[in-house]
Amino acid sequence: MSNFEEHQREQQPAFIDPSLVINTRLSEIERQQSEEKAEAKKHARSQRTTNWLLTAFTGLLFVTSCISDVLLLHQTSISKESADAAKSAANTASQQVKLMRQQLESQQAAVIRITVNASQVIEAGNPIPLATRVDIGLRNVGHSIASNIHVVVKISKKNMRRGNPVVLLPVEFRIPKLQPEDESPGANRQPIYKEYPLSLSKEEERLVGSGQYAIVMEGSLDYDNGFGTSTTEPVCVTYWADYHLAENGRDVAASDGGSATCDDFAIRLPGILQNQETQRKNQK
Task: Report pLDDT digits (tens) over 16-35.
Answer: 566 666 777 777 777 787 77
Position 127 scores a pLDDT of 66
Q: How far apart are CA 284 and CA 61, in angstroms?
A: 114
Confidence class for position 253, pLDDT limits 50, 70, 90: very low
What is the enclosing helix (H) or strand (E) of 8? helix 3-11
Whether residue 120 has pLDDT greater than 80:
no
pLDDT class of 159 with cuts at 50, 70, 90:
very high
Range 114-117, long-range pairs (CB < 8 A, 24+ positions): 114/138, 114/139, 114/151, 114/217, 114/221, 114/235, 114/237, 115/139, 115/191, 115/237, 115/239, 115/259, 116/155, 116/215, 116/217, 116/237, 116/238, 116/239, 116/259, 117/239, 117/256, 117/257, 117/259
User: Can you tell me the mean pLDDT for 49-60?
Assistant: 81
Q: What percent of the chain is predicted at pLDDT more than 70?
A: 82
Specify the CATH class of 111-283 in words. Answer: mainly beta
pLDDT at position 124, please? 64
Confidence of residue 251 (pLDDT cuts 50, 70, 90): very low
CB distance 116 to 215 below 8 Å: yes
C-alpha span between 273 and 240 (Å, rounded): 11
Q: Please state the rounded mean pLDDT for residues 122-143.
A: 82
Q: Where are the domains of the chain?
A: 1-108, 111-283
- Mean pLDDT for the stretch of residues 151-176: 93
Q: What is the pLDDT of residues 177-219, one digit of tens each?
A: 999 987 777 666 678 889 999 888 888 888 888 888 999 999 9
